[in-house]
Structure 1
């Protein structure tokens, strides 16, 4: 993890301050930016999102899907958490905390939008940062790569239906045309572009050219992320100044959801007898979110100034410190994990 990535939470806090300040000082300028739309897609934001997502997708080799069966226990647990538990548990937490417990303390006209943002955030498993988390947890790199590739393939067909279903259950009107457009624009097209570039850079079987391009693009990706946050908070500035506690209240269900899903994934891997080097990244992938996609989709569906957009950004704010704490727990609990009878049997079988 680079120094920049390690202190990402600090940079996000600074983006909040800068965004709120410039939005307050130059509201007319950001209204012009917000109006630069084609088919409900904000062009400046779309460009920034592509600059974020494509370098991350360049790391994914979909040929690694051939190795999925090698880690069938960890793959099964992670898929269960990512697609059968996480979106629905977040919807439940959103209804419980935002729709009920915290309702008196939040703007009444944004309640549904906040819940929508939380659902969008949880419906997309993390793609890029999990490589960092897996490395810190001394995880099996081939498992991480194959799991991320599989999640990306599933996301192409599952993201829109899951979001649409849960928004419908929340009695939130689903703009299906915009949702499908978001999937095409922020998942399908970037995946295709990234894979074309990757194949051209890995001709001959070497990744030297690809590694060089990634090294140059990574800073651009992070700067694009921070620039997007500045824009978002510039539009959200007045609301944040009026009610700064909103961010703290939105962070609570996100924090609970991360802890619950990472813990559940870790325990299920232990029960099934998966190795620790697979269980660690499985728990991390199960808990983290593809916040770049979530931010883009929320902006496209509900607009810059929506509570949904703000809720997805809160996910960025707490992701780094929370995931680092999960890494610490996974590393410190290795002896306890491997003492499980099922894990011991798996290890003994593999040795023979």
Structure 2
């Protein structure tokens, strides 16, 4: 098992190999700037268009574009024809995930209604952004990840407000628990999806299509992609710094509250990732698609969750703090799970016709 992991990790660049260190540094830098530099969070927050933070949007676009440029769009039909994968993903993301977060929030935060509500909102916001990075670092199936996040984006527009009403109003009422609600429109959710997924997806598709037509697939895979690759991690680190600059004061001034919120989040990530991995393995999906299933089940769209919490309850609310703690816990935990995935890789049979994946600038490049 260790040999399989070392074989993959050994191909990583210095940037990739020490990614947990760089992420830790980015989080500390962001928290430090937000806490120690007066007005920096206000200045960054002011740079927004129609409620969307431009610095965060830029970071996410830079992060996702190189990975989506690596996707082989001519292979997407092999994913859409995999009914086991699609059904398992839909069940995990839209039935199991929200229910698990609801249960954990009520079990672990029965006395903290604001944080509880914030966590439930996080559970409803299925991942469409950073999961692309975690999946790629773990050598998951890129094409499957592209399809699953696209499906999540469609369901997010349709189901987010409906599930919010159910888990915050209907179900608590039926169980004799406190009720609350969220105020968001399908357009607000669609806007988030279009910005954070639509733009980089279109850019990645056009880059591959034009690049292969003009220079050929060999040049595209061997020359252009290695140059684009490192920018995914630059964008990730930039996004983390900005996120923690914006919420540095909130996080560092309420450490006990952060710890209380972190416990159900840790349990959630473990249950969702472990459940996705177990289901994929038992269903015989192979390493790549099992990994993709696990990470798309465990990740959350923290950008949407934070935006909804702030828009409904205010920037200083407990609900907003719960949303902010989401990436604080998610980022290091899912980076750790990348290494767990790589360690488990040797336990899966190698798919016929697939060689070992190469890594360059932040993920597996050759496939």
Structure-1 separation of matches of 2:296 and 2:305: 21
SS in 2 for 1:172: coil
CA distance, structure 2, for counterparts of residue 220 and residue 40 of structure 1: 26
Distance 1:325 1:76 in 2: 25
How far residue 56 of structure 1 moved from its aligned partner, in angstroms, is: 2.0
Find the partner of 1:258 among 250, 253, 269: 269
Query: Size of the alignment, in residue pairs?
Result: 316
Contact 1:201 1:209 in 2 (8 A): yes
Q: In the alignment, which residue of structure 1 is the partner of 2:189?
A: 179
Task: Report deviation, 1:249.
Answer: 3.5
**2:304 is the counterpart of 1:297:** yes
Q: Distance in 1 between matches of 2:269 and 2:334?
A: 9
Contact 1:36 1:44 in 2 (8 A): yes
Q: Equivalent residue for 1:348?
A: none
1:161 aligns with 2:158: yes
* TM-score, with structure 2 as normaliser: 0.73
Which structure 1 residue ranges, 5 or more long, are not aligned? Answer: 136-143, 336-352
Please give the TM-score of this superposition, normalised by the length of structure 1.
Answer: 0.76
Q: What's the secondary structure of 1:128's corresponding residue?
A: helix
- Distance in 2 (CA, whole Å) between partners of 1:94 and 1:205 is 51
- 8 Å Cα contact 2:269/2:330 also seen in 1: no
RMSD: 3.2
2:280 and 2:85 map into 1 onto residues whose CA distance is 6
SS in 1 for 2:326: helix
For residue 122 of structure 1, report the CA deviation from its aligned partner: 5.5
Verify the 8 A CA contact 2:23 2:240 in the aligned structure 1.
yes
Match for residue 223 of structure 1 among 209, 231, 234: 234
Q: Report whether the alignment pairs 1:316 with 2:331.
A: yes
Tell me which residue corresponds to 2:100. 89
Partner deviation per Cα, 1:33-89 (whole Å, 9 max, x = no partner): 211222111222222221112222212233322213775444543443344323432
Give the distance between the partners of 1:43 and 1:75, measured in 2 at CA. Answer: 33
Q: Distance in 2 between matches of 1:159 and 1:236?
A: 25
- 2:131 paired residue number: 126
Q: Is the alpha carbon distance of 1:49 and 1:26 closer, same or farther for their aligned partners in structure 2, counting shifts above 3 Å?
A: same
Report the CA distance shift for 1:148/1:16 in structure 2 as closer, same or farther (over 3 A): closer
Measured against aligned partners, the alpha-carbon deviations of 1:298-352 in whole angstroms (never above 9, x if no partner) come to 44434576321332342112111134224435645x59xxxxxxxxxxxxxxxxx
